[in-house]
Amino acid sequence: MTAAFTVRVKDETASKLDQLAEKLDRSRSYMAAEAIEAFVAQQEWQLAEIEAGLAEADRGEFASDEDVAKVVGKYVKSARQS
């Protein structure tokens, strides 16, 4: 089952959406639905990762000082060599 609703966007965004839809031979509705589905999936993933990280922190699972130093050293060294 699908749900229908109205979404208000700036005229510029609607115009860009129409251009993309035309280039991809899709409807505006299809393009908007795809964008919303991608956004929802991304937000679900991000929030799940944040919640997992908070649960790890609540259990006291943190990187050791040595682990953090290795990661920082890797990027500081890379930046100095550039």
Q: Rounded mean pLDDT of the chain?
A: 92
pLDDT band for 1, please (50, 70, 90 cuts): confident
Range of the domain at 29: 11-81
For residues 41 and 52, give the distance between their C-alpha atoms in angstroms, rounded to a whole number: 16
What single-letter amino acid sits at 69? A
How large a percentage of the chain has pLDDT more than 90? 80
Please indicate, yes or no, if residue 65 is contained in any of the structural domains. yes
Q: pLDDT, tens digit, for every residue of 31-60?
A: 999 999 999 999 999 999 999 999 999 999
Domain total for the chain? 1
Q: What number is the average pLDDT over the span 17-38?
A: 96
Please indicate, yes or no, if residue 27 is contained in any of the structural domains. yes
Please indicate, yes or no, if residue 3 is contained in any of the structural domains. no
Longest dimension (CA), the chain: 56
